[in-house]
């Protein structure tokens, strides 16, 4: 593969901080859009009357398309220009949002949400790649990625509140109109504030590779979701097998192409494969343990959904603070030491989970665990992300960013299945071989205090076991990153 230095076209301003603020706006909107639909979904369902299948697709299609198209869109940004892709996709996102706001049929929501997912998948890796170029100094790049991540997390945390306020004063379509002014600001300001980078000598997008990538990821993620929602059966097994098979074909095709969609040679660069495993495993743990948080607070401790959400707020704040504290520490000591300390903090969080009990004292263990785990990954993530992007050739920085984001998406979905299954196995062992899931246990127990206590004890035992699994996995993660750190030294 022949490559040249990417073409650089600066914007009208040389202020990278202002450009970073502009990049953060759509990222915050994308984060809001991931979860705000949950607030509007009941009203949407009452007005549009979707079938159960349509309701499932209305909720899931956005995430499916983000995960399935991110690698392809990252590669497109490398070829046509990252600023150009951000501008175009801002227009697409705004138009799709406006159409979704006035949808009159379920299929219209599904279609527009799918388009919004593709646009969102394009904006995030293009933004990450631009950050790497706007801040060539590694320490400043890590700090910029920390700030970018903080905006994304702010959007995630604010989404339920924003959605609740809008639902109280307007109709459900108003949540989609949030995206229109933000994306219009991006459309107008991006050509003036953002620099442009693209690989002049890059070839065309290989359409068969794009189709294989999309089909493989969609089938694997769909299989994982089916396992979480319906348990083991032939449908998720078939979907997963076909998805993995297409993934193998995709990898072989990339190795044979002169200009592949994903440059797998990146994984052969020193330390990159280890960092990718660290990112995947930490995403797996965070995705899997998040499944237990709400159940523990609402079913075991008996809190209302609102009160449970308040108990989870410290972990969100901790992650936002840590994503800026980590880069600040990285300017005062070796970045590898900051990451090692952050991963150790994350491991301590799983030790806390392993100490959870059904009593009120268990709340402290659960909240402390969530704070430590999210703070640890929040401080480490900007370094890990920059470690991969900075080692990719500049003409493939967008593709590298999308590769990392996709590994996170699949890691989260895998964690829901793996750790959810671990918790279920322990729960059933405590309750008896014929028992179902803990969801069934709480529903069937109803007002039977004795049975409810047994169900809570069994669920908490599963939660503690998941904590122990997390400690073991984090030990592997620390070993992997220690090997990477020795390579840096």
DSSP for 377-395, written as a single string: HHHHHHHHHHHHHTTS-GG
Is pLDDT of 9 > 60? no
Q: For residue 197, what are the β-bridge partners?
A: 8
Handedness of CA 423, 375, 160, 20 (dihedral sign): negative
Average of per-residue pLDDT across 237-254: 87
Kindly report which listed range (103-112, 366-375, 469-478) carries the lowest average pLDDT score: 103-112
- 393 or 354, greater pLDDT: 354
Percent of the chain with pLDDT over 70: 84
Strands (E), 228-272: none
Is-contact 296 460, C-beta < 8 A? yes
Is pLDDT of 345 > 90? yes
Q: How far is it, in rounded angstroms, from Cα 415 to Cα 417?
A: 5
Is-contact 137 335, C-beta < 8 A? no
Is pLDDT of 3 > 50? no
Is-contact 29 124, C-beta < 8 A? no
- 227 or 358, greater pLDDT: 358
- 14 or 279, greater pLDDT: 279
Strands (E), 297-455: none
- C-alpha pair distances (Å), 463 with each of 227, 280, 356, 357, 375: 19, 21, 8, 9, 20
Is pLDDT of 348 > 50? yes
Please report the pLDDT score of residue 8 as a whole number: 45
pTM, two decimal places: 0.76
Kindly report which listed range (88-102, 323-337, 387-401) carries the lowest average pLDDT score: 387-401
- 464 or 144, greater pLDDT: 464
Q: How far is it, in rounded angstroms, from Cα 422 to Cα 170?
A: 42
Is pLDDT of 11 > 60? no
Under DSSP, the state recorded for 6 is P
Q: What is the pLDDT of residues 435-462, one digit of tens each?
A: 666 666 666 666 667 777 788 888 888 8
The token pair at 304 is 């209302």
Q: What is the pLDDT of residues 119-140, one digit of tens each?
A: 888 888 888 778 877 777 777 8
Percent of the chain with pLDDT over 90: 8
- 5 or 472, greater pLDDT: 472
């Amino acid at each position: 593969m022949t490559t040249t230095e990417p073409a650089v076209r600066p914007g009208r301003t040389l202020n990278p901080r202002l450009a970073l603020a502009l990049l953060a706006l759509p990222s915050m909107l994308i984060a809001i859009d991931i979860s705000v639909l949950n607030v509007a979904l009941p009203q949407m369902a009452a007005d549009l009357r979707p079938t159960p299948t349509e309701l499932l697709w209305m909720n899931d299609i956005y995430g499916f398309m983000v995960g399935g198209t991110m690698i392809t869109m990252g590669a497109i940004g490398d070829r046509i220009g990252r600023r150009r892709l951000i501008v175009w996709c801002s227009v697409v996102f705004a138009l799709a949002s406006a159409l979704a706001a006035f949808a009159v049929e379920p299929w219209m929501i599904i279609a527009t949400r799918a388009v919004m997912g593709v646009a969102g998948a394009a904006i995030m890796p293009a933004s990450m790649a631009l950050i790497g170029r706007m801040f060539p100094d590694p320490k400043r790049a890590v700090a910029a990625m920390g700030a970018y991540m903080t905006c994304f997390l702010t959007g995630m945390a604010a989404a339920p509140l924003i959605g609740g306020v809008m639902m109280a004063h307007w109709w459900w379509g108003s949540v989609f109109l949030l995206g229109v002014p933000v994306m219009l600001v991006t459309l107008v300001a991006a050509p003036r504030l953002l620099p442009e980078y693209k690989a002049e000598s890059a070839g065309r997008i290989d359409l068969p590779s794009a189709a294989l990538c999309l089909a493989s990821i969609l089938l694997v993620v769909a299989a994982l979701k089916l396992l979480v929602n319906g348990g083991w059966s032939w449908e998720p097994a078939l979907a997963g097998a076909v998805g993995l098979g297409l993934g193998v074909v995709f990898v072989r095709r990339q190795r044979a192409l002169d200009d592949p969609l994903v440059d797998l040679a990146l994984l052969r660069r020193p330390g990159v494969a280890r960092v990718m495993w660290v990112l995947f495993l930490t995403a797996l743990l965070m995705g899997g343990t998040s499944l237990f948080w709400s159940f523990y607070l609402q079913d075991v401790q008996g809190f209302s959904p609102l009160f449970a959400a308040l108990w989870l707020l410290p972990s969100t704040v901790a992650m936002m603070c840590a994503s800026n504290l980590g880069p600040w520490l990285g300017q005062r000591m070796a970045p590898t030491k900051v990451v090692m300390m952050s991963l150790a903090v994350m491991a301590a969080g799983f030790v806390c989970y392993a100490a959870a009990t059904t009593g009120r004292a268990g709340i402290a263990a659960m909240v402390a665990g969530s704070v430590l785990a999210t703070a640890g990954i929040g401080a480490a993530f900007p370094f890990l992300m920059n470690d991969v992007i900075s080692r990719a050739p500049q003409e493939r920085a967008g593709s590298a960013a999308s590769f990392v984001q996709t590994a996170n998406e699949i890691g989260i979905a895998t964690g829901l299945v793996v750790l959810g299954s671990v918790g279920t196995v322990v729960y059933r062992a405590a309750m008896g071989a014929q028992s179902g899931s803990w969801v069934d246990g709480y529903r069937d127990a109803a007002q039977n205090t004795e049975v409810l206590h047994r169900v809570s004890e069994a669920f908490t035992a599963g939660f503690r076991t998941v904590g122990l699994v997390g400690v073991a996995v984090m030990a592997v993660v620390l070993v992997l990153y220690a090997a990477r750190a020795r390579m840096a030294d």
